[in-house]
Amino acid sequence: MKNLIYIFLGGGVGSILRFLISNYTQKFWNINAFPLGTFLVNITGCFLIGCLSGYFMKVDNSLKYLLITGLCGGYTTFSTFSAENFSLLQNSNYGILILYSLLSLIIGIMMVFLGFQIIKN
């Protein structure tokens, strides 16, 4: 039961952070149709989950539920990412669709690796 409470609390905080960072990024750096807010959240979320995964490999405790499952799960936005890609497809923004998808995937994986390596060493 304690782990479920951790997940609940972390998910709430992560969701609020996602909303604030995504909205303010889009508001202040609106680059054409590119969904920079969601991109930034997903990339920083990938880095964070990499760092936390590396740390919790060394130290196993219940905080991984608060921080990885809860916080990172609430913070990252793959469902929003998918909806935005669908919208780009519907609006025939094929170049942005391909750029956004590839950058998110490639840089996301690189950020998980980087975060993991920084904490692992």
Binding residue positions for Na(+): 73, 76
Q: Which two tokens stand for residue 32?
A: 């054409």
- Burial of 6 by CB count in 10 Å (0-12 exposed, 13-18 middle, 19+ buried)? buried
Q: What is the dihedral of CA 75, 77, 101, 23, to 10 degrees?
A: -80
Annotated binding site, which residues? 73, 76
DSSP-assigned beta bridge partners for residue 31:
34
